[in-house]
Amino acid sequence: MVSTELANKDEAETSSSAQTLFWGLISTVVVLYFIGLAFLTWSDYNRATTRAEVELEHFAELYEQAVDATLSVANVRMWGLIDELSTAMLDDPDQFEAQYGALMNSAVEEIQQVDALVLIGADGVVLWATVEPLLGQYLGDRAYFQTAVGLGVDDYTVGVPIQSRATERRITPIAWPLIGIDGKVRGVLASSLGEDYYAELLAADGVQEDMFVEVVTANGERAFSSGRAQRDPDTPVFSARKEIPALDLYIDVTRSKEAVLSSFWQRTLVFTGLATILFLTVINAAIRARAQSTKLAQALRNSERDRERIRVAQSEFDAIFENVGDGIIVYNDNNKLHRSNRKARELMGVSSNIKAVEQLRSMIPPFSQMDEEVAIHRIHVRNAENESVAVQCRVMKMHLHGDYIAYNVLQDISAEERLVAARTAFVTSVNHELRTPLTSLAGSLEILHERFGEAMPANAGKLLSMATRNADRLLVLVSDILTLQAIDQQQLSIQKERVSVSEVLSEAIAANTGYGVNRDVQLGIHGGPNASDAVYVQVDTVRMQQVFSNLISNAVKYTPRGGTVKIGADLDENAVTFYVCDSGPGIPRSAHDRMFKRFADPVHSRDNQASGTGLGLAITRELVVRQGGDISFQTRSAEDGDENPGTTFFVRLPRDDDAAPTKGTPV
Amino acid sequence: MRVLFVDDEDDIRELIEFALMTEDDIEPTFAATGFDAIATMETQAFDVIMLDVMMPPPDGMEVLRCARANADLDDTKIVMCTAKTSHESEKTFRALGADHILHKPFKPLKLAEYLRSIA
């Protein structure tokens, strides 16, 4: 036990340290997981922003090229127009209109990059304009005019956005110098960047919805935007800028950080969520697996312990099995199991299990034919010394694991049998040896008294009576003792037969009238069924008459001369109660307990003279009980002060009315 | 009524003789051993045979067997006189052909009455 406890303690320590290790590991894994997750998120964030910036750069470059390209195209065409105008007379607006108006108008129509066309003379006065109100106005103060005037062939300038004087619209001016055939600047051809055209160009359809593309002039003012609503300057944004250096124009491409990162956040959220769910599932599984394995380990340890216990119990059982005083032989019905102990092999005079089983099987009926669970056989075996031994074999049939197994317990009953035989012989011999001379003695005294009593002197007659009475008493005593001994040794057999109650009563009267006559006491049936009534009991008639003989002789003995002993039977539904009623002195309360005891103290002092053995009622009760009945009494004792004393003995037996009368047939 | 009494005890035989002395209708014959009884049975006819069970061999049972093997004695009542209290032996006696069992000790003076009742 001590070692087991120590082992338990060790196990507990081991398991607790393993527990700590496990939880440490789990915590580390969790921390590492979250660190990893944070790192992943951070790097993903970086990648997302970098990508957004790079993307914006690309877009900016794309737009820059697009704007640059369209402007170049416009420039080429404008220079074509300028070439046409190189020889135009700029003095008379009406002549110019007549000569070049159509050309100018078709140029405005064709060159989508520009919205309007204004021809400004070298003096700064508008000579021709698609927009009527500008005619004659002075625009020489405009920055684009002054820049354009200084430009050479194939050059143009884009100015900062201004408020148009004619249309009150915000416009982005673009201007070309009008260089004459002589290479001198004759004026400026001005226009504004085509708002619809650029709006469409920058609209960036099919690109990110949230992207703003703006064309910004050198002073930072916005010339065009992608045409959507104004962007909120407070919103944090990613942006990229590309310069069109020749024109001092910048392309700004911006996206709000929120929009750019929304997909990142979504992705991160989904990824983190899924990963965490997965991770937690795995951790949970790990914890469960751990718990399971702990339980399993515990169960394994328990089963190991149980196995050990079973092993100990088994060896204890083996030791007991082998050394127990009774022989034991075990076998099954397919003859695969053979087991026996030392005593069994000794009894069988064999040395092996198989031989013991074979020998026993040859001696008793096959147990497969057993109807009952248990059967007892008496067999005689020859032991190693070749002596015949009486053996009681108790076979227990058990159904185990689909197989019938016979457990046979062999008990050496030779000593017991010898003892029983010796006892029986003793009883028989005492019976014979005592009764034979007593019969002669009593018989001869009786004849002497009958035949020659009158011829004897009075004193001799008295002595003869005394001798007769005591011889009778001795006979009864011997008979009683032998009966009791037979009862004690279970040798008293009861042979029940079915007899009518009236028959039992009349036999009782007939057989016992003698007692009454001798003492001048009347004996009579006082109640009970008529001879014709079919009331039956199961009794051994000989034993039943012995019962009546005892009860009636007692009753007669105590009834005063001239009195009556009443005999009868009361009936109820299930039982018959025979009674024998006397008008004797009754039994004092103090004697009630010992009425049915053997050799009890006599109830009345005069019993000493009466011929009592002190065994009569004990035997009577045994005989009644053996026949399945019970005996009791009611009494009024003169000694206890009752005025009308007397005793009634009751013998109650179960009724057996149903079957047809079977008198004479032993049951 | 001719009655054969078989008993190895001299006293018992004498007692019975005494008891039946006054009974004119009963003519007793006595045998002291089993051999004696068997021999007597061969030569004489009896109404009743009273057989003591416990005798030196051949005992009452042997004599009973012999008697029942003899067809001449079919009408003869055989009474086994025994001191045994066991029913087992009674069964055996009846199985062997005994008509009545008389338990010892019996009162010699009531014997005549008993014999008349069974004959």
Regarding whether A336 and A317 lie in a shared domain, the answer is no
**Cβ A475–B12 below 8 Å, yes or no?**
no
Identify from A428, A429, A435, A439 which residue to disrupt to test chain B contact, counting B C-beta atoms within 10 A and taking the largest count: A439
The chain-wide mean pLDDT, for chain A, equals 82
Number of Cβ atoms within 10 Å of the Cβ of B17: 13
The encoded tokens of residue A71 equal: 């402007």
Q: Does residue B90 surpass a pLDDT of 80?
A: no
Kindly report the nearest CA distance between residue B84 and chain A, in angstroms.
Answer: 7
**Cβ B108–A482 below 8 Å, yes or no?**
no
Count of CB pairs separated by less than 8 Å, A with B: 63
Q: Which of B112, B59, B108, B53 is nearest to B79 (CA)?
A: B53
Nearest CA in chain B to A431: B83
| CATH code at B2-111 | 3.40.50.2300
B54 CB neighbours in chain A (<8 A) are 428, 432
For residue range A398-422, what is the model confidence (pLDDT) as tens digits?
887 778 888 999 988 888 888 877 8
For residue range B25-41, what is the model confidence (pLDDT) as tens digits?
889 999 989 898 888 88
Outline where DSSP puts E strands in B7-115.
27-31, 48-52, 77-82, 100-103
For residue range A572-617, what is the model confidence (pLDDT) as tens digits?
888 889 999 888 888 888 888 888 887 766 666 555 445 566 778 8
A667 CB neighbours in chain B (<8 A) are none
Q: Does residue A232 surpass a pLDDT of 50?
A: yes
Nearest CA in chain B to A445: B15
Regarding whether A355 and A256 lie in a shared domain, the answer is no
A622 CB neighbours in chain B (<8 A) are none
A438 CB neighbours in chain B (<8 A) are 105
Q: What is the number of structural domains in chain A?
A: 4
What pLDDT is stored for residue A662 in this prediction? 43
Kindly report the nearest CA distance between residue B85 and chain A, in angstroms.
Answer: 7
Instruction: Report the CATH number that the domain containing residue A639 is assigned in CATH.
Output: 3.30.565.10
Tell me the mean pLDDT in the region A206-226: 74
Residue A2 backbone phi and psi in degrees, to 5: -60, -45
What pLDDT is stored for residue A270 in this prediction? 92
Residue A181 backbone phi and psi in degrees, to 5: -65, -25
**Cβ B18–A450 below 8 Å, yes or no?**
no
Instruction: Report the CATH number that the domain containing residue A3 is assigned in CATH.
Output: 3.30.450.20
Q: Which of B19, B85, B109 sits opposite A482 (nearest CB)?
A: B85
More confident residue, A285 or A436: A285
Q: Which of A258, A263, A214, A254 is nearest to A53 (CA)?
A: A254
Q: Does residue A517 surpass a pLDDT of 80?
A: no
How far apart, in Å, are the Cα atoms of B7 and each of A432, B12, B94?
13, 7, 20
B107 CB neighbours in chain A (<8 A) are 442-443, 446
How far apart, in Å, are the Cα atoms of A578 and each of A525, A549, A565?
11, 13, 13
Q: Which of A134, A139, A204, A197 is nearest to A167 (CA)?
A: A134
Q: Is the model's pTM score more than 0.95?
A: no
Q: What is the rounded CA–CA span in Å between residue A443 and residue A430?
A: 19
Q: What is the rounded CA–CA span in Å between residue B93 and residue B89?
A: 6
Regarding whether A296 and A356 lie in a shared domain, the answer is no
A440 CB neighbours in chain B (<8 A) are 9, 11-12, 15
* Kind plus residue range of the DSSP H or E element containing A375: strand A374-382
Is the Cβ–Cβ distance between A38 and A221 less than 8 Å?
no
Q: Does residue A384 surpass a pLDDT of 90?
A: no
Q: Would A315 be classed as within a structural domain?
A: yes
| Per-domain boundaries in chain B | 2-111
Q: Would A23 be classed as within a structural domain?
A: yes
Regarding whether A177 and A48 lie in a shared domain, the answer is yes
Regarding whether A180 and A146 lie in a shared domain, the answer is yes
Amino acid at A70: T
Kindly report the nearest CA distance between residue B73 and chain A, in angstroms.
Answer: 24
**Cβ B86–A493 below 8 Å, yes or no?**
yes
Q: Which of B111, B108, B90 is nearest to B100 (CA)?
A: B90
Kindly report the nearest CA distance between residue A391 and chain B, in angstroms.
Answer: 23
More confident residue, A371 or A327: A327
Regarding whether A470 and A504 lie in a shared domain, the answer is no
Task: Give the position of tokens 């003899």.
Answer: B70
SS3 A160: coil
Q: Would A42 be classed as within a structural domain?
A: yes
Complex-level ipTM? 0.80
More confident residue, A200 or A139: A139
Kindly report the nearest CA distance between residue B91 and chain A, in angstroms.
Answer: 10
Q: Would A660 be classed as within a structural domain?
A: no
Q: Which of A475, A479, A493 sits opposite B88 (nearest CB)?
A: A493
SS3 A107: helix
**Cβ B85–A431 below 8 Å, yes or no?**
yes
Q: Does residue A2 surpass a pLDDT of 80?
A: no
Burial readout A463-496 (b: 16 or more C-beta within 10 A, e: otherwise): ebeebbeebbebbbbbbbbbbbbbbeeebbbeeb
Q: Which of B15, B85, B91 sits opposite A443 (nearest CB)?
A: B15
Q: Would A599 be classed as within a structural domain?
A: yes
For residue range A479-496, what is the model confidence (pLDDT) as tens digits?
777 777 777 776 677 778
**Cβ B83–A432 below 8 Å, yes or no?**
yes
Regarding whether A305 and A267 lie in a shared domain, the answer is yes
More confident residue, A277 or A13: A277
State which residues form the domain around A232.
Answer: 1-323
pLDDT band at A231 (very low <50, low <70, confident <90, very high): low
B88 CB neighbours in chain A (<8 A) are 493
Regarding whether A426 and A390 lie in a shared domain, the answer is no
Kindly report the nearest CA distance between residue B37 and chain A, in angstroms.
Answer: 20
For residue range A638-665, what is the model confidence (pLDDT) as tens digits?
777 777 888 899 999 998 876 544 444 3
What pLDDT is stored for residue A307 in this prediction? 94
**Cβ A450–B11 below 8 Å, yes or no?**
no
Regarding whether A68 and A146 lie in a shared domain, the answer is yes
A492 CB neighbours in chain B (<8 A) are 85-86
Q: Would A131 be classed as within a structural domain?
A: yes
A437 CB neighbours in chain B (<8 A) are 11
Q: Which of A633, A637, A528, A621 is nearest to A583 (CA)?
A: A637
Regarding whether A280 and A363 lie in a shared domain, the answer is no
Regarding whether A406 and A423 lie in a shared domain, the answer is no
Regarding whether A189 and A103 lie in a shared domain, the answer is yes
